[in-house]
Chain A
Amino acid sequence: MTKNIMIVGVGGQGSLLASKLLGRLLVDEGYDVKVSEVHGMSQRGGSVVTYVRFGEKVYSPVIENGEADFIVSFEKIEAARYVENLKKDGTIIVNTQQIDPMPVIIGAATYPEDIIGEMKNKGIHVDDIDALALANEAGSSKACNIVLMGRLAKYFDMPKEKWLTAIEKCVKPQFVEINKKAFDLGYNC
């Protein structure tokens, strides 16, 4: 059975490393894997989405409505933007950080007040964490992505060590310790 993970956020937040880590881990585990993202214009501070699919045999590189087992969101309203993609029994892992999009900055739109509350009220399983604070605790605000991967790992039936090995393979040697710490903070919070 193919499993579907979406990583969503704002261009520049580091979703690339998160998907690289997942890809590495899943290939090493012997799964067929497809990872799909769109490069270019959307990266300039726009809404970005990466699809990660794995299983015995994966065909489509994209995840459609009602198909995602997990949505890992780097920002509050980005989780809500893709909520249609979630399976009925899926989980949203969301960083509680708020980043105003341009229409909000210039006053043409308002940032929803309690979007996480609304998602929970709809019966969605939402796992909200302050990943930015945990990343800072690990030593770098840029490690938000790995905090969230640590959180995702909790839902996986896979030894933690395998994730840590994948981190070693994916990040530069000087950043391995910070990222392992970030992973642990996400895993244990």
Chain B
Amino acid sequence: MKDLLIGNAAVARGLYEGGCAVISSYPGTPSTEITEFFAKYNDVYCEWAPNEKVAMEAAFGSALRGKRSACCMKHVGLNVAADPLFTMSYTGVNAGIVICVADDPGMHSSQNEQDSRHYAIAAKIPMLEPSDSQEALDYAKLAYEISEQFDTPVFLKMCTRVAHSQSIVELGERTEITKDYTKNPQKYIMTPGNALKRHPFVEQRTEKLIKYAETSPLNRVEDGDGNRDFGIITSSTSYQYVKEAFGDSVAVLKLGMINPLPVKLIKDFAAKVGKVYVIEELDPIVETHCKNIGVEVIGKDKFSILGEFSQKSIEQAFEMADKTVFNLDTEIPVRPPMMCSGCPHRGMYYVLAKNKITVLGDIGCYTLGAAPPLNALDMTLCMGASVSGLHGYNKAGGDQTENNTVCVIGDSTFMHSGVTGLINIAYNQSNSTVIILDNSITGMTGHQQNPTTGYSIKGDPAGKVNLEDLCHSIGINSVRVVDPYNLEECETVLKEELAKNEPSVIISRRPCVLLKYVKPKKPLYVDPEKCRGCKKCMKFGCPSISFRDGHAVVDTTLCVGCGVCAQLCPFDAFESEVPSND
């Protein structure tokens, strides 16, 4: 059967066909849909873990027990999971493990542009890199064979364009695999004595994998139609751009296995052609390998180390003719993403901005509070850094910062890695005020459940962490809950908690307006007689409010009736009822 699938759905299908029985992941664009699609299969286990390290260890446990497993994450999530990763390379596996990691060149939804291929090299773990959905499916399946044959976890590396592009795939059948578990301390207990014996195994495994890479169909030469002036070594989505630009007119070495890289195959390819170009997004991984084995190549001198490629990058580098384009004289205003109409985060941000509070931020929809007109954030680094960063900031700043600085972190991010920072605040007693923006869902990645929501990935009732109890239990005495639609309450509680000489937590709680169970209220309406055009409501940055003919106007198709703008208006111009015409 043929189907048009996004790369991530194809990975899910490939894992399923490959006999994957357990997936544990943490959402992160562009990797999220792998786990979401996998959750649609009934005869397998699938979960959202609190973070990537937990997810990877759960996958390890499943494989140890004898069931093929996987964990999926974005590139920065792999940093969180790096601790188990490096030692799993030593233990190897019982049943196969596939680690799916999705990079984000061009940073469509990420805070950096790191290249995950470095991890494969550093941890000495094989990595496969598909270039479209069919390869995503095939490679995911094959990854289990490699994992068990070579006794290693296997990376499946995606990038935004492969993860989120749909192409046609042929679906296959599922294979069920179960291995027996046998106690084996020398392999699975990584004390120094045992690990010393496993390290040589890892090095020998890499030698065997290089031999595999020399002849595996994962790496293939496409001879093209005879032009031997130059050849191109490429992989992933760059392969598609090369083919788009050149068709079959050049010789291409297409690499599907990016670690370890073959030696003889590359040398033989280079010997057949004149110049060799290496075309790869981000860092010069393949280029460096070629130079290390004595093959002269042209890489980052000609193709950028920054951002995404396209066929245009290739055409420009090879000085192919530009296509004619239309240009307009008028400047088109930018349209940045923003918090939605009725977003509960906006009320709290308004209060923070109004009181000129320094705000250390975190990763989620609420990072958008950094944008005009709220300009509410001072810092965003990585998951959980707002809380631990605030502690350090206040230890350094003392009474100069403690009463005018907070951090903001979402419920899912708090569960991911904010709670350890809060334990540090409670343990080492910094006079810090932590605001948990609890919208009862993982928002930015598209509504995934988390340990605070009480539901599993399949929407079934699950365990539920009570944030207030959790904060109390780790030693925070002052825990307050506010409604971010109530500006007065937010401001009063904020001032009280900042004034206290102890650690405190404010939980700003209201579910995301995009959740299905949140029913919008009637849209508001601006009475043009009452509105004096002071633009106070415009400082709030609500996309439903615009300014036309000297007064504010509400877009009734967007407005969800949250009523926060009405609290800002000095002239009571916002009405809850649109007047009738008679």
Please give the residue numbers on chain A whose beta carbons come within 8 Å of chain B beta carbons, in ascending order.
Answer: 10-12, 23-24, 27, 32-47, 58-62, 64-67, 77-78, 80-81, 83-88, 100-112, 115, 118-119, 122-124, 141
What per-residue 1/0 map shows which CB atoms of B333-350 lie under 8 Å from chain A?
111111110000000000
CB contact under 8 A between A107 and B547, given known A41-B108, A61-B167: yes
Please give the residue numbers on chain B whose beta carbons come within 8 Å of chain A beta carbons, in ascending order.
Answer: 2, 4, 29-30, 32-33, 108-109, 132, 160-161, 164-168, 237, 240-241, 243-244, 310-312, 322-340, 365, 368, 371-373, 444-446, 535, 538-539, 541, 543, 545-547, 557
Other-chain contact of B108, A38, A65, A84, A112 (Cβ < 8 Å)? A38
Question: B29 and A40: CB pair below 8 A?
Answer: yes
Question: A36 and B538: CB pair below 8 A?
Answer: no
Other-chain contact of B373, A33, A64, A106, A109 (Cβ < 8 Å)? A106
Question: B241 and A41: CB pair below 8 A?
Answer: no
A-B pairs with lowest CB-CB distance, top 5 = A66-B323, A40-B109, A46-B337, A40-B29, A61-B165
Q: How far is the CB of B531 from chain A (nearest CB, A)?
A: 16
Question: A60 and B4: CB pair below 8 A?
Answer: no
Question: B4 and A46: CB pair below 8 A?
Answer: no
Q: How far is the CB of B512 from chain A (nearest CB, A)?
A: 11
Q: Please indicate the chain A residues that have their CB under 8 angstroms from the CB of B164 in the complex.
A: 36-39
Q: In the complex the two chains form, what is the Cα distance from A85 to B444 in whole Å?
A: 29
Q: Please indicate the chain A residues that have their CB under 8 angstroms from the CB of B312 in the complex.
A: 64-65
Question: A60 and B240: CB pair below 8 A?
Answer: yes
Q: Which residue of A lies closest to B2 (CB)?
A: A27
Q: In the complex the two chains form, what is the Cα distance from A44 to B167 in whole Å?
A: 25
Q: In the complex the two chains form, what is the Cα distance from A141 to B557 in whole Å?
A: 9
Question: B340 and A40: CB pair below 8 A?
Answer: no
Q: How far is the CB of B496 from chain A (nearest CB, A)?
A: 31
Q: In the complex the two chains form, what is the Cα distance from A66 to B311 in whole Å?
A: 12
Q: In the complex the two chains form, what is the Cα distance from A81 to B333 in whole Å?
A: 9
Q: In the complex the two chains form, what is the Cα distance from A66 to B32 in whole Å?
A: 33
Q: How far is the CB of B163 from chain A (nearest CB, A)?
A: 9
Q: In the complex the two chains form, what is the Cα distance from A103 to B373 in whole Å?
A: 9
8 cross-chain CB contacts under 8 A: A24-B4, A35-B166, A45-B337, A81-B335, A88-B324, A105-B543, A106-B539, A119-B328
Q: In the complex the two chains form, what is the Cα distance from A12 to B340 in whole Å?
A: 10
Q: How far is the CB of B315 from chain A (nearest CB, A)?
A: 8
Q: A27, A39, A84 — which one has the most chain B CB atoms within 10 A of its CB? A: A39
Q: Which residue of A lies closest to B367 (CB)?
A: A41
Q: How far is the CB of A114 from chain B (nearest CB, A)?
A: 9
Q: In the complex the two chains form, what is the Cα distance from A67 to B116 in whole Å?
A: 32
Given contacts A118-B329, A141-B557, 13 further A-B contacts (CB under 8 A): A33-B168, A35-B4, A36-B164, A40-B445, A45-B543, A47-B335, A61-B240, A64-B310, A65-B322, A66-B324, A86-B326, A100-B543, A118-B330
Q: Please indicate the chain A residues that have their CB under 8 angstroms from the CB of B338 in the complex.
A: 44-46, 102
Q: Please indicate the chain A residues that have their CB under 8 angstroms from the CB of B333 in the complex.
A: 77, 101, 103-104, 109-112
Question: A101 and B4: CB pair below 8 A?
Answer: no
Q: A40, A118, A141 — which one has the most chain B CB atoms within 10 A of its CB? A: A40
Other-chain contact of B538, A42, A59, A106 (Cβ < 8 Å)? A106
Q: Please indicate the chain B residues that have their CB under 8 angstroms from the CB of A43 in the complex.
A: 337, 446
Q: How far is the CB of B7 from chain A (nearest CB, A)?
A: 9
CB contact under 8 A between A80 and B168, given known A60-B240, A62-B311, A64-B310: no
Q: Please indicate the chain A residues that have their CB under 8 angstroms from the CB of B541 in the complex.
A: 102, 105-106
Q: Please indicate the chain A residues that have their CB under 8 angstroms from the CB of B446 in the complex.
A: 39-40, 43
Q: Please indicate the chain A residues that have their CB under 8 angstroms from the CB of B310 in the complex.
A: 60, 62, 64
Question: A65 and B237: CB pair below 8 A?
Answer: no
Q: In the complex the two chains form, what is the Cα distance from A67 to B324 in whole Å?
A: 9
Q: How far is the CB of B160 from chain A (nearest CB, A)?
A: 6
Question: A27 and B160: CB pair below 8 A?
Answer: no
Q: In the complex the two chains form, what is the Cα distance from A47 to B331 in whole Å?
A: 15
Q: A32, A62, A77 — which one has the most chain B CB atoms within 10 A of its CB? A: A62
Q: In the complex the two chains form, what is the Cα distance from A44 to B367 in whole Å?
A: 12
Question: A34 and B167: CB pair below 8 A?
Answer: yes
Q: Please indicate the chain B residues that have their CB under 8 angstroms from the CB of A27 in the complex.
A: 2, 4, 168
Other-chain contact of B332, A36, A59, A61, A77 (Cβ < 8 Å)? A77
CB contact under 8 A between A105 and B324, given known A38-B160, A112-B330: no
CB contact under 8 A between A105 and B538, given known A60-B241, A64-B310: yes
CB contact under 8 A between A83 and B29, given known A40-B444, A78-B335: no
Other-chain contact of A62, B29, B108, B161, B167 (Cβ < 8 Å)? B161
Q: In the complex the two chains form, what is the Cα distance from A43 to B579 in whole Å?
A: 33
Q: In the complex the two chains form, what is the Cα distance from A119 to B30 in whole Å?
A: 35
Question: A39 and B109: CB pair below 8 A?
Answer: yes
Q: Please indicate the chain A residues that have their CB under 8 angstroms from the CB of B335 in the complex.
A: 10, 45-47, 77-78, 81, 101-102
Q: In the complex the two chains form, what is the Cα distance from A81 to B68 in whole Å?
A: 47
Other-chain contact of B244, A38, A59, A112, A119 (Cβ < 8 Å)? A59
Question: A44 and B108: CB pair below 8 A?
Answer: no
Q: How far is the CB of B545 from chain A (nearest CB, A)?
A: 7
Q: Which residue of A lies closest to B161 (CB)?
A: A61
CB contact under 8 A between A106 and B444, given known A27-B4, A66-B324, A101-B336: no
Q: Which residue of A lies closest to B239 (CB)?
A: A59
Q: How far is the CB of B235 from chain A (nearest CB, A)?
A: 14
Q: In the complex the two chains form, what is the Cα distance from A54 to B243 in whole Å?
A: 15
Question: A80 and B330: CB pair below 8 A?
Answer: yes
Q: A100, A102, A109 — which one has the most chain B CB atoms within 10 A of its CB? A: A102
Question: B243 and A59: CB pair below 8 A?
Answer: yes
Q: How far is the CB of B166 from chain A (nearest CB, A)?
A: 4
Q: Please indicate the chain B residues that have their CB under 8 angstroms from the CB of A38 in the complex.
A: 30, 108-109, 160, 164
Q: Please indicate the chain A residues that have their CB under 8 angstroms from the CB of B237 in the complex.
A: 61
Q: Please indicate the chain B residues that have their CB under 8 angstroms from the CB of A44 in the complex.
A: 337-340, 365, 368, 444
Q: In the complex the two chains form, what is the Cα distance from A87 to B326 in whole Å?
A: 8
